[in-house]
Amino acid sequence: MPTSSPSPEPLPSRRIAETLRAAIENGELSPGDRLPSERSLAEQYGAARNTAREAIRILAEQGLVIAEHGRGVFVRERKRLLRFGSDRYSLKNRETGLTPFRLEAARQGRTARIEVLGITREEPPEDVAERLGVPTGIAGVVHRENHYFADDEPVQIVSTYLKWEEAQGTPLMEPRSGPHGIYGRLEELGHVMTRGRDEITARMPSPHESALLRLPPGVPVLEVLHTSFDQNAEPFEVSRYVHRADRAGLLYELPVEQAES
Amino acid sequence: MPTSSPSPEPLPSRRIAETLRAAIENGELSPGDRLPSERSLAEQYGAARNTAREAIRILAEQGLVIAEHGRGVFVRERKRLLRFGSDRYSLKNRETGLTPFRLEAARQGRTARIEVLGITREEPPEDVAERLGVPTGIAGVVHRENHYFADDEPVQIVSTYLKWEEAQGTPLMEPRSGPHGIYGRLEELGHVMTRGRDEITARMPSPHESALLRLPPGVPVLEVLHTSFDQNAEPFEVSRYVHRADRAGLLYELPVEQAES
DNA sequence: TAGTGGTCTAGACCACATC
DNA sequence: ATGTGGTCTAGACCACTAC
């Protein structure tokens, strides 16, 4: 009897991983449940501990489980996502007096906290310089760095860049920039946001981001590079949002222009 | 002389990884260059091969390098991103006669290929059913699955869901759905897209997606769940786009509504 | 104190790429 | 034939958690 296909006898580590994956997906193991220990998996499958460990690594890479030092390996919870996006800059949110982040956190019954990391004059990163229309190589921008927490869990890092020549000596250099935040001050400087552009990418975090966001392995980040344009179609503000992708998503509402009759 | 901080003597694997990371970032190692082999790294640092291997794994997880069986470990190229987003549904692109994907590929001098995987009547996934406003548990939708390639490299997987009662017996069940694609047919059925919603998340790929997109380890996917609404604010189409995040990004242009005077 | 994951060593064999 | 990454074994010690 010829085997219908080569069926190359899966590797031990894959086999263990697949068995566990199936158990998770059919509900035998529920979110929060502990997996058997590496040592007991190894014994159970007649393998070395490193092999069981490799199986766990595969599942962790897929975001299915999370290892906790000294406690065990657990099936991941799938928490509801905080959602940000096209209404992050919407004027109608202004009336609530809440920033979009606080609004979204409140909507989900979570506590919001915002930490101002620093407001410094700097040389802009290349991608920011390009979009803001300032030269690179000189300290031509103000960099405001904020960290956002929901239920004291870090959720996003935001770096806002403004032109130094404009921000210099204004409340834009202060942690609390006044009514309606920096957009309020920028309007007073003659910049009304009439158009925005969001460029979205996903990638694995740098070690720095990994530490700041306290990211477990296998969780990517969503990066949004936002550019604000004023009534003269001039860019006047660029922000980089880095979200942990397992806790935050993006929502864009798109009006579709109609064909002229 | 007291050490200014505990400075807990970094782990060998981290130390090797950091040295290589620095070499990559300062340009000593350029994209495409081969790293020293695992065995020679181990010898060089007086470590076991598994330790050098772990260092490579750390870099691969960060997307900095890619291991190729039998050839070596290479610094990743940073290719320019294909960009999709708010104009994916824009009417003005219709006039070019090109689909948004072909347009973007052409813009970057890459060849586009689209493969129709299947058009089948199915039971919708829960998230799709919810958004399309159809019941789950019955085969109430048509699922069109397409794969998109740039230079014969798989870039995105698109699953489009339509209501079966509407698509039944129409060109919407055909691979080539006619002028202006499915949106042309849907307009003839009385659905003019007046609004769209894109819900964006990032995550690590499932093994299935990993295989379809031929993803190297450590590359996340960008998922866009799109819903189209017609002139009566009824949802009439839902599509799920799964992009490989190292080759595709998203671009959203946001008009900002002005406050009334 | 016992059990867990985190890391490391020192070997081994296999599969793939190159010449 | 040689060198590469991919996987595995069988041990060891450490750091963290729970009791």
**pLDDT tens digits, one per residue of A15-27:** 999 999 999 999 9
B66 touches strand D (CB under 7 A): no
Among the CATH numbers 1.10.10.10, 3.90.660.10, 2.40.37.10, 3.40.50.20, which is that of B12-75?
A: 1.10.10.10
State mean pLDDT over A168-176: 91
Q: How close is the nearest chain B Cα to the Cα of A207, in Å?
A: 8
Residue B77: what pLDDT? 84
- Candidates B18, B180, B200, partner chain A, best to mutate (most A CBs within 10 A): B200
One-letter amino acid of B20: L
One-letter amino acid of B223: E
By C1' distance from the Cα of A36, the closest nucleotide is C4
Closest residue in chain A to residue B62, using alpha carbons only? A204
Note the pLDDT tens digit of each residue in A182-238.
888 999 999 999 999 999 999 999 888 988 898 888 889 999 999 999 999 999 999
User: B222 and A202 in contact by Cβ < 8 A?
Assistant: yes
Q: How close is the nearest chain A Cα to the Cα of B40, in Å?
A: 22
CA angle A8, A12, A16 (to 5 degrees): 120
Q: Is the pLDDT assigned to residue A86 strictly greater than 80?
A: no
In angstroms, the CA B4 to CA B6 distance is 7
B120 touches strand D (CB under 7 A): no
User: B246 and A203 in contact by Cβ < 8 A?
Assistant: yes
- Nucleic chain C contacts, Cβ below 7 Å: A 35, 37-40, 49-50, 53, 56, 67-73; B 11-14, 42, 46-51, 54, 68-71
Q: What's the helix, strand, coil split of chain B in %, to 5?
A: 30, 30, 40
User: A258 and B202 in contact by Cβ < 8 A?
Assistant: no
Q: Is the pLDDT assigned to residue A258 strictly greater than 90?
A: no
Assess contact for B250 and A200: CB atoms under 8 A: yes
User: B91 and A258 in contact by Cβ < 8 A?
Assistant: yes
Domain spanning B82-251, CATH class: alpha beta
State mean pLDDT over A87-101: 70
3-class SS of residue B171: helix
**Residue labelled with tokens 């921000």:** A167
Q: Residue length, chain B?
A: 261
pLDDT band at A10 (very low <50, low <70, confident <90, very high): confident
User: A89 and B255 in contact by Cβ < 8 A?
Assistant: no
Q: CA–C1' span, A232 to D7, in Å?
A: 61
In angstroms, the CA A113 to CA A152 distance is 7
Element (H, E) at A50: helix A49-61
Q: Which residues of chain B have pLDDT under 50?
A: 1-7, 260-261
pLDDT band at A61 (very low <50, low <70, confident <90, very high): confident
Measured from Cα to the C1' atom, the residue closest to C10 is B48
B35 touches strand D (CB under 7 A): yes
Q: String of b and e for A104-136 (b: at least 16 CB within 10 Å)?
A: bbeeeebebbeeeeebeebbbbeebbebbebee
Smallest Cβ–Cβ distance between A196 and the set B83, B220, B256 belongs to: B256
Q: How close is the nearest chain A Cα to the Cα of B128, in Å?
A: 16
Residue B6: what pLDDT? 41
In angstroms, the CA B75 to CA B23 distance is 10
User: B259 and A91 in contact by Cβ < 8 A?
Assistant: yes
Q: Where are the domains of chain A?
A: 12-75, 82-251
Residue A39: what pLDDT? 93
Sequence-ordered list of residues with C-beta below 8 angstroms from that of B109, at least 6 positions apart, any chain: none
Q: CA–C1' span, B9 to D14, in Å?
A: 14
Measured from Cα to the C1' atom, the residue closest to C17 is B70
The burial of A157, by beta-carbon neighbours within 10 Å (0-12 exposed, 13-18 middle, 19 or more buried), is given as buried
Residue A261: what pLDDT? 41
Q: Is the pLDDT assigned to residue A1 strictly greater than 60?
A: no
Residue B100: what pLDDT? 81
B207 touches strand D (CB under 7 A): no
Residue A167: what pLDDT? 93
| Range of lowest pLDDT (A61-70, A108-117, A174-183, B3-12) | B3-12
Tally of CB atoms within 10 A around B234: 12
B103 touches strand D (CB under 7 A): no
Residue B103: what pLDDT? 86
Residue B8: what pLDDT? 53
